[in-house]
Amino acid sequence: MIRRNGFTDETLEWRSWLEPLQLAEASPLQLEVLDESHPQSRTSPYYLTLAHQPLMLRHRSAAYNAIMYAPGGLPRAERELGAMVVSVTNGCVYCTSVHAQRFEQLAKRSDTVEQVFDDAASAGTSERERAIATFAIAVTQRPNALAGDDIAPLRAAGMSDEEIIDLLHAVAIFGWANRLMQNLGEPAGAD
């Protein structure tokens, strides 16, 4: 278990500031979209909140699941590294805990997680991980000033254009996810 600078890789809960959808009142479309979004969405306050707009949730989940879970392309652990660095940069404690755990499960190690919690800007156990962390912070903090110089370290670390595009999507979608998590509710300790 890692706890540093207010971040943790422990399992947290999330509490909605809105009224999550009551399953008993859900329409067939809402149930269908919940089930295609996430295996545990019927008991998740986050998904039940987003289910108030089922067609928006359908598009969000199709994008999210393809970006984070699709086979091939950028290794999934590196997508999770990008997600974790963005979540730390945006101060999303809940998102960070989820994606720190996923990184650890996929990479079978937690050294990079400790580094990201300590200082995301210098984190990474390899040139490739450091390039990913640096790029994730740049996309998060100064999207309008991104330039070719921000891409070069990724290529120098051996990433193909296809992998860079996968990373860009993973990093960018956490700009979306962190905003929902931090503006529609708040993290809560596990029961």
Contact between 36 and another protein per CB under 8 A: no
- Considering only 18, 29, 66, 188, the residue that binds another protein (CB under 8 A) is 18
Residues 50-89 that bind another protein (CB under 8 A): 50, 52-53, 56-57, 60, 63
Is residue 175 a contact point for another protein (CB under 8 A)? yes
Q: Which is nearer to another protein, 57 or 84 (CB)?
A: 57
Q: How far apart are CA 153 and CA 188, in angstroms?
A: 37
Of the candidate residues 41, 61, 90, 134, the single one contacting another protein (CB under 8 A): 90
- Quote the least distance from Cβ 151 to another protein, whole Å: 4
Q: Closest separation between CB of residue 176 and another protein, Å?
A: 4
- With CB under 8 A as the contact rule, the residue among 81, 84, 178, 187 that binds another protein is 178
Instruction: Record the tokens describing residue 12, joined without a space.
Output: 């947290």
Binding test (CB under 8 A) with another protein, winner from 68, 74, 113, 171:
171
DSSP state of 22: P
Name the residue among 77, 71, 162, 173 with its Cα closest to residue 125.
Answer: 77
Question: What are 28's two structure tokens?
Answer: 């067939």
Tokens of 30: 């809402």
> What own/partner pairs with CB < 8 Å and gap ≥ 24 does 58-65 have?
58/33, 60/176, 61/33, 61/36, 61/37, 63/173, 64/173, 64/177, 65/37
- Give the residues lining the site for another protein (CB under 8 A): 17-19, 49-50, 52-53, 56-57, 60, 63, 90-92, 139-140, 143-144, 146-152, 155, 160-161, 164-165, 168-169, 171-173, 175-180, 182-184, 186
